Amino acid sequence: MLGVRVASAPFQAIGCPAPLGRVGFTGVEGAFTRWAMFRIRQVIPDAVPANRRLIEEVKAVLSERLPGLPRKELETFEDRLRHPLQYGMHSILLVADDMRGKLLGFAYLSHLPDCGVCLLDYIATPSHSVSGIGGALYDRVRDVCRGLGATGLLFECLPDDPAACSDPGLAAQNAARLRFYERFGARPIINTAYEAPMRPGQLDMPHLVYDDLGRGGGLSRELAGRAVRELLERKYADMCSPEYTAAVVASIRDDPVRLRERAMARGRRRRANGRQGSRSSRWW
């Protein structure tokens, strides 16, 4: 989710995941795809040397792919895994490897017990990785969230409107990413100021995406406000002024929050608008 207010979850190269099923083992999950096998497991600091090595590899990927990542994020990475009470949240690192310890992807999420939701901080798969790892990782993230009793999962995704991108050519890639998450039921929250720029002309402001984890329930205005405040104050304290954060939280008025209509419905509406000779500068 790191770009300008820096968008940190779901990317490609850090990777646009391709959906594919997985086969589960007891305690450790793995999958076969195109003759390759991988597993997804939770990594705990200091448990074994191999885990420490994997954590360092994850930090190296974050540092390389997200040069704007605040140093504090990397400096506290392991502490947040070790000391949930100190940070007021339960942070979890999931890694995918090739059964021999080679890192193939990872996901880092945080459970906010006071808000009843989880935040997906990062999910990454290299562009050359085995097909299906991104989908299996995200599926496992959802399982973990349900196991923690979370009502839903929140994360950021870069905009799919070319007019909102500093490089309009990336809009199609961002749209593909959003369609991937929509297959799991996750869609951007609308009718808020979450995408509002912090300074005039600022682009690449991320959508806030909500996944109800298949529960079928909406996210209440109260929980959404608390989660957004926590997200902006924790991840973007050096970028977002208290006034900006307060304005974004105050802009959440729908109860429960509203999600953007599905891609298929938007496509039908655009075609209908086209037949009527209307033009729209946005995709929703």
Nearest-angstrom CA–CA distance, 174 and 282:
14
Instruction: Count CA atoms within 13 Å of residue 25 on its CB side.
Output: 12
What domains appear along the chain, each with residue ranges and CATH number?
23-275 (3.40.630.30)
38-72 pLDDT, tens digit each: 899 999 887 788 889 999 999 999 998 888 888 88
Cis peptide before 206 (omega within 30 of 0): no
pLDDT by 10-residue block (mean), the chain, 284 residues: 38 32 27 61 86 92 86 89 88 92 93 93 77 90 97 96 96 95 97 95 96 94 96 87 97 97 67 48 28
Map residue 78 onto helix, strand or coil.
helix
pTM over 0.85: no
Nearest-angstrom CA–CA distance, 112 and 84:
10
Closest CA to 30 of 105, 177, 136, 123: 136
**Amino acid at site 125:** T
Q: How many residues does the chain have?
A: 284
Core vs surface per residue 238-255: b (16+ CB within 10 A) or e? eebeeebbeebbeebebe
Place of tokens 């929250």: 189
